Amino acid sequence: MLRMEILGSTFDDSVFSEARDRVPVTLTGYSAKRCEAQWFCESAALQTEDALEKQKVLKFRGDLAVRRGDYQTALDSYSSCLEWIADNNLTIRRDVLEGMARCCTKLGQRDRALDLANSLSKEASNTCHLTSVLLLKAGIYQHFGHIRSRMWCLQQLCNLLPFNPWHWFSLGRMSAQLLEVHTSAEQEKAAELSEDRTWLKACACLIRTRLLLRILRQQQSSFVLQRSENTLKASDEALRRLNPPESTLQALTEVMSEDLIPEKMREDFQDGESLASVCVQSFRERWWDKILLTGGGEDRQALRT
């Protein structure tokens, strides 16, 4: 039989043979299992010795309860589900633990929610896992009003996935919102430097958001493109309110665009990589020191005028 070699790959010419020359394959009959809607809610659904079946029933009950806003019932179902998850079924285990953490958050159980999130952190083995944990923690901190802790999570996300505009937008928007929080008279002097740095960080993050969205929208269409356009407008509006002088705007744009090279962006794509192979600098090392250097360590008046 003749063989073809294309770019080092080898193919049998049978791939290109006429249909009549190919050996027919007979498919055996298949009957799909049919279930009634919400079959898992029936009491008989748990009357089985099959651990996998019990896991499914309890997981589905928890998911349905979350959808209905009954978080205590969902938490109880998820907790029971954990007992029936096989040791090697890490995906379902992570899903259930995250569901429990979100339920605890809704129920005001902050410490338990964070304990569950920390358990997930210890079990994280790749960047997808770590991203999910950081987003989970950011949501918990937001719910309980822990602003600084949420900012730390967002900074970690920007470090881990530096070409994701949505994390930069969240961090920039949150930094801008912090500027609207009024401090008491006693705290005003101590908070001034912090406010200046928060303003600078907000500007830098929103500029980074704009740069990334302008690159990505060239490859987008439909509702994905619309989302990018809406976020781009929101970033522009937020920057307009911050009102950075043109010199600061240009300097920050230069710093935040240094690594936005197509080849580098492809090489640094880390989504799904093993954490053992990922080396991530701290936000201060990778971004903040450069941002401060751009600001020149000057006071607010010099930076903003």
The mean pLDDT value for 23-33 works out to 65
Clarify whether residues 113 and 214 are in a common domain: no
pLDDT tens digits, residue range 84-109?
999 899 999 999 999 999 999 999 99
What's the total number of domains in the chain? 2
Clarify whether residues 182 and 305 are in a common domain: yes
At residue 199, what are phi and psi to the nearest 5 degrees?
-60, -45
Q: What is the pLDDT of residue 186?
A: 44
Separation CA 243–CA 247 (nearest Å): 11
Domain carrying residue 179: 163-267+284-305
Q: What is the pLDDT of residue 45?
A: 73
**Is 223 part of any domain?**
yes
Q: The pTM is what?
A: 0.79
What CATH number should be reported for the domain holding residue 120?
1.25.40.10
Provide the residue count of the chain: 305
**Is 219 part of any domain?**
yes
Residue 141 Cα distances to 138, 174, 271, 299, angstroms:
5, 13, 24, 31
**Is 38 part of any domain?**
no
Q: What is the pLDDT of residue 261?
A: 85
Q: What is the pLDDT of residue 184?
A: 45
Clarify whether residues 211 and 243 are in a common domain: yes
